[in-house]
Amino acid sequence: MKAFLITLDAFVAIILLFSAAFLMYSSSFQPYAPRGVYLKQFTNDMVTVMEKNGDLGSAIAGNTSGMHYMMGFTPQLVCMQVSITDSAGNRSVTVAKDECGEYGRELQVIGRSLVYSGQLYTVKAEAWYKKEQVT
């Protein structure tokens, strides 16, 4: 009888151990998001932050320092360019991240409307991963 209780106790302990390990794994598991999805969401978030901070309106008024500052927070391998055009199609301003050459992989483009001083503008943000350097 004593051996049966020890075996049952060990069996219950193993089940609890595996259950705890499974719960820890499932709570920390995050499914892999394709790079393009990440880049699209990142670009959308950056434009939203620039809009909420007033950086887009300041750029239309001629001060692009806020947009340059925000682009400094992008990951090293991510390049970005934001263009703002007025309702007539005239480009008001274009700001690009420094040290980004031509388009690399996974180009993502988003667009949205912006009203500044009663005039409608279109914001177009393009983001891509830098071309990989071959050494």
Q: Would residue 39 count as lying in a domain?
A: yes
Which domain covers residue 88, as residue numbers?
A: 35-129
What sign has the CA pseudo-torsion 52, 58, 61, 67?
negative
Amino acid code (one letter) for 15: I
More confident residue, 21 or 121: 121
* Helix, strand, coil tally for the chain in percent (to 5): 45, 30, 30
Q: Stretch 100-124: mean pLDDT, rounded? A: 86
Q: Kindly tell me if the per-residue pLDDT of 90 is higher than 80.
A: yes
Instruction: Tell whether pTM > 0.85.
Output: no
E-strand ranges in the chain read 78-86, 91-96, 105-116, 119-129
The tally of domains found in the chain comes to 2
Residues 66 and 14 in one domain: no
